[in-house]
Amino acid sequence: MTRVLLVEDDVHTRRVLRAVLENEGFEVVEAEDGIQGLAAAESQHPACILTDKMMPRLDGPGMLAALKQRGSTIPAVLVSAAHELPRAEEFEAMGIVETVAKPFAFERLVDVVRRITGEKG
Amino acid sequence: MRPEDEKLFFGHDLATPLTNLVGAHYLLRMSLPKDDAAGQESLQILEANTRALERMLGWYWRLRELEASREPVAPWPADSLVPRLRNWIEVEGLPIPPPKGEGGPGRFALPAEELDAGLLGAALTLQAAAKVPVAWEFEPREGALVSRWVIDGDEEALDPGRLFRKVYWPGPSKVKPWLDPCLPYLREVLEPRGGSLELTWAEGKWALEAALPLLP
């Protein structure tokens, strides 16, 4: 089963995203902020990271930049409000392969995760 | 509210509960039996209201951003506008007919992305508010390119007094009204830069005309 790391501080968003992704056949590992996400990415070896941008302690871009510095090649999807999304030239430094603006269509998010992980669903 | 707080509130804080509503709707839709009439109706209400909130907040936020920024725009060719709009309609699968006519010669100093959003939004808004199909065409005029939407027939098809503030969306759901501040947005794109947006009733037709000013 393809494992996805979900890093999101809002408990309802986490619950909904977990349910949607599990329903589509993914295994979901959760983290509540960037610090937890960093640890989970290194211990759980997910095929993809789905992360919020604004989070307490360590935000999504900070977590992704730290992972990249440590040699991680895990592809990441950054989910956030439209005006907060980083510019395309910043993506590579953070390992971001796709951005999704809130509020988003869940069908689209599932398609993005499927495409990145190669999971047919 | 301070501008930075407002940005955080509308751009981020409200986006999260809206995302959760969309997600809850998605999960319910997958699990509710089709023959559960009350459940399906609740689902429809949830969906319609979530979409309405999403659109209202989206347009409101875009309007606030537009009011806050008055940066000069590099001129761009007027004849690229109509093909770009047709492409948006096709790519996004928007439920509006592609506009007729061409841009003609000349250049605009209007913000392109905002203009596209406003024109497409106006077409969608009118289509939603009118009870009959809306015709959309572009026509060069002295010093401007005019985008015109024409609604044939019933004077009651639109409520002009409310159109710039409120549009009633005749969707399949029982949930009405549907508010959309899209036309004030288009007006805000045009008027500070010498353009205009006007709704008229004449000879049995409603016409909304957006005059897009060309550079001299």
Averaged over B205-210, what is the pLDDT?
90
pLDDT at B163: 61
Q: Which chain B residues are closer than 8 Å to A10 by Cβ?
A: 16, 20
Q: Give tens-digit pLDDT for B109-140.
A: 999 988 998 898 888 878 776 767 789 999 99
Q: Give tens-digit pLDDT for A28-49.
A: 999 999 999 999 999 999 999 9
Distance from the Cα of residue B102 to its chain's centroid: 21
Q: Give tens-digit pLDDT for B40-76.
A: 888 888 887 787 777 777 777 777 777 777 788 899 9
Contact A13 B30 (CB under 8 A): no
pLDDT at B180: 61
Contact B54 A83 (CB under 8 A): no
Q: Would an 8 Å CB–CB cutoff place B27 in contact with chain A?
A: yes
Backbone angles phi, psi at A30, to 5 degrees: -105, 150
Q: Which chain B residues are closer than 8 Å to A19 by Cβ?
A: 23, 27
Q: Distance between CA B210 and CA B216 in Å, rounded?
A: 18
Q: Would an 8 Å CB–CB cutoff place A16 in contact with chain B?
A: yes
Select the residue from B4, B5, B19 to test the A interface by mutation, using most A Cβ atoms within 10 A: B19
pTM: 0.65
Q: Give tens-digit pLDDT for B147-190.
A: 999 988 777 767 666 566 544 433 333 333 344 667 888 888 99
Contact A81 B11 (CB under 8 A): yes
- Among B11, B27, B61, select the one facing A19 at the smallest CB separation: B27
Cβ-in-10-Å burial (0-12, 13-18, 19+) of B125 comes to: buried
Alpha helices of B32-78 — where are they, by DSSP H?
37-68
Q: Give tens-digit pLDDT for A45-99.
A: 999 999 998 888 999 999 999 999 999 999 999 998 766 666 777 777 788 888 8
Is the ipTM of this structure higher than 0.85? no
A70 secondary structure, DSSP code: T
Do the Cβ atoms of A14 and A6 come closer than 8 Å? yes
Q: Distance between CA B110 and CA B108 in Å, rounded?
A: 5
Contact A16 B27 (CB under 8 A): yes
pLDDT at B95: 81
- State the count of interchain CB pairs (< 8 A) between A and B: 54
- Of residues A82 and B212, more confidence is placed in B212
Backbone angles phi, psi at B58, to 5 degrees: -60, -50
Q: What is the percent of chain A where pLDDT is above 70?
A: 94
The count of residues in chain B is 216
